[in-house]
Structure 1
C-alpha cells in the first residue's frame, strides 16, 4: 500500500436489540470521525435486522448526518439495488447530494440474503439480472435522460453524482467499463492474494472513457483488542452466514483461524499495519475503509478504535489527515 489515499470508516449500525439510540450513536461517530480528519464515513443497509444491522434506509440517516457535519463524505456500503425502485432511489440520492453539498458516495450491490429477497417479492436467483436492469434505469435518471415520452427528467438534478458511483462485485471488468469505483473486501473462500488480483484486473480493464479515474474502496474489518463480547458476535455472524448458505464449510478450530478466514485484522498496532501493507496498492484516488464495530461494540470503544487508526495506523501507511483532531 502506498501513501496518499483517503481514509474512511464503515458502520453497519449494529445493535443487539433495536433502540433509536443506535442512530444517534452513528451520528456521533460521524461527527467524531470528521473531527479526527477521516475523509469518509459509510453505512450499510440491512433489512429486517439481518446480522443485527438496524438500518434499512441509509439515505435517511445520511441526510441527518449531513446536517451535523461539514466536510466528511457520506457513503453507502452498500444499498441492495435489486430491492430498490431505481427512480425513487435516484430522487432520494439527488436530494441528499444537494443537502450535503455533493458529499454523497453511492455504493451499490446485488445483495445475498435470501430472506430479504422473499420479503420484497424478488427472486434471489435473479438478483444479478435485476441488478443490471435497475442500474441501467438508475444511470438513465442520474444522467438526465428523458424518462417518459413527454420528456420528464429527474428533478432535482443530480449533477456529478453519476461520477461518484461504486459497485461491490467480483465482475470487475463491468465496473471498469462503466467507469465506476470498485468496493472490495476479503472473500472468506479465497486467499488474501485474491484481493490484489481483483484490483489488478479492475485497473487493467479501466478505459477512463467517462473522464473519471479508476478508484478502489478497500473495506477491512479491524479489531485492535477483541474481547469476549466481540468473540460471541463473530461466532454468531459465522453461524448465520452458514445457515443461509453464504459461508461454506464448518466452524474453524479456534477463534484466530476464524478471524483470518474472514479477513478481520487484530492484535498489536504493528501487526495490523504489517497486514494492511500486504494488501492492494492504494493511490490518491482510492480509499481505505475500516470497520471497527461488531454487534456489541459500545460507542466509546468504536471512537477509541478510530483514534488508534488516526494516531498510529493510518499515518504509518502514508495517510495525511485533512482535519484537526479535537
Structure 2
C-alpha cells in the first residue's frame, strides 16, 4: 500500500434503537474527524433498519453535516440506486452539493437485501437492470443533458458532481468505461488478493479520454485493540447470522472471533498488526482513499473516536498518509491535458 492517498471513514449510523441520539452522534463524529484531519466521511444507506443501520435518507443527514463542517468531503457509500427515483436523487444531490460548497462524493450501488426490495414492491432479481437504467438517468441529469423533448435540464445545475460519482460493484470494467470511481471492500468469499486483482482490472480498463484519473475507495473495517471485544464478538455474530439468513454468507461460517474476522476481511489487533494487514491490500495513490469503518452496532461514540484517533496518529501515517488537505480541494481533480 503506497503513500499519498486520502484518509476517510465510513459510518453505517449504527445504534441499537431509533432515536435522535444516533444522528446527533454522527454529526459529532464528522466534526471530530474533520478536526483530526480526515479527508472524507461517508455514510451508508439502510432501509427499514436492515443490518441495524439507522439511516434511510443519507442526503438529509449530510445536509446537516455540511452546515457543521468546512473541509471534510461528504460521501455516500452507498445509496441503493434501484430503489431511488433517479431524477429526484440528482436534484437532492445537487442541492446538497451547493450547501456543501462542492464537497459531495456520490457513491451508488445495486443493493442486495431481498427484504428491502420486496418492501419497495421491487423484484431483487431485476436490480442490476434497474441500476443501469437509473445510473444513466442520474449521469445525464448531473451532466446537464436535456431530460425531455422540451430541453429541461437539472436545476440547480450540479457543477462538477457528475465527475464525483462512485460505484460499488464487481463489474469494474463497466465502472472504468464510464469514468466513475470504484468503491471496493473485502469479499468474504474470496482471498484478499482478489481485491488487488479487482483494482488492477479497473485501472487497466480506464480510458485515456476521461476527464479525471482512475480513483479507488478502499473500505476496510478496522478495530484497534483496547476496545470491548465482547461487544465486538456479539455484533459480528449477529451480523453473520443475518447475512446467512438472506443467503449472502454460507451457513458453515463460524468458529472463534479471529477466524470469523479473517473470513470477513476485518482487521483487529495492534496498530502494527493493522498496518501489516492494510499493506496486503490494493495499492493506493494520490487519487485514492483508504476509508475505515470503526463501528459495529454497539460501538459507543467515545470508542469510535478513540479508533479514529489511533488511525490518524499511528496507522495511516505509517502507510504514507499525511494530514493537511486544503479546504474544499476536490479529491477528484481533472486530468491536465
Supply the distance in 2 between the matched residues of 1:199 and 1:148 (Cα, whole angstroms).
Answer: 37
1:52: Cα distance to partner?
0.7
Q: Normalising to structure 1: TM-score of the pair?
A: 0.98
Matches within 5 A, 1:1-326: 1-225=1-225, 226-322=228-324
Following TM superposition, the consecutive aligned residue runs of length 4 or more in structure 1 with deviations greater than 2 angstroms are none
Supply the distance in 2 between the matched residues of 1:20 and 1:49 (Cα, whole angstroms).
Answer: 14
Supply the distance in 1 between the matched residues of 2:57 and 2:277 (Cα, whole angstroms).
Answer: 33
Supply the distance in 2 between the matched residues of 1:90 and 1:210 (Cα, whole angstroms).
Answer: 21
Supply the distance in 1 between the matched residues of 2:233 and 2:208 (Cα, whole angstroms).
Answer: 43
Supply the distance in 2 between the matched residues of 1:168 and 1:16 (Cα, whole angstroms).
Answer: 26
Supply the distance in 1 between the matched residues of 2:59 and 2:208 (Cα, whole angstroms).
Answer: 28
- Deviation per CA, 1:231-252, whole angstroms, max 9, x where unpaired? 1000000000000011123132
1:23: Cα distance to partner?
0.2
Supply the distance in 2 between the matched residues of 1:146 and 1:202 (Cα, whole angstroms).
Answer: 30
1:149: Cα distance to partner?
1.2
- Deviation per CA, 1:21-43, whole angstroms, max 9, x where unpaired? 00000000000000000000000
Supply the distance in 2 between the matched residues of 1:69 and 1:93 (Cα, whole angstroms).
Answer: 17
Are the aligned partners of 1:79 and 1:107 in contact in 2 as well (CA < 8 Å)? yes
Give the CA RMSD over aligned residues. 1.0
Are the aligned partners of 1:142 and 1:158 in contact in 2 as well (CA < 8 Å)? yes
1:210: Cα distance to partner?
2.5
1:208: Cα distance to partner?
3.5
SS at 2:55's partner residue?
Answer: coil
1:323: Cα distance to partner?
6.5
SS at 2:233's partner residue?
Answer: helix
Residue-pair matches, total = 324
Could you tell me which runs of 5 or more consecutive residues in structure 2 were left unpaired when the two chains were aligned.
Answer: 327-337
- Deviation per CA, 1:178-212, whole angstroms, max 9, x where unpaired? 00000000000001100000000001111142311
Q: Normalising to structure 2: TM-score of the pair?
A: 0.95
Supply the distance in 2 between the matched residues of 1:255 and 1:236 (Cα, whole angstroms).
Answer: 12
2:332 is aligned to none
2:331 is aligned to none
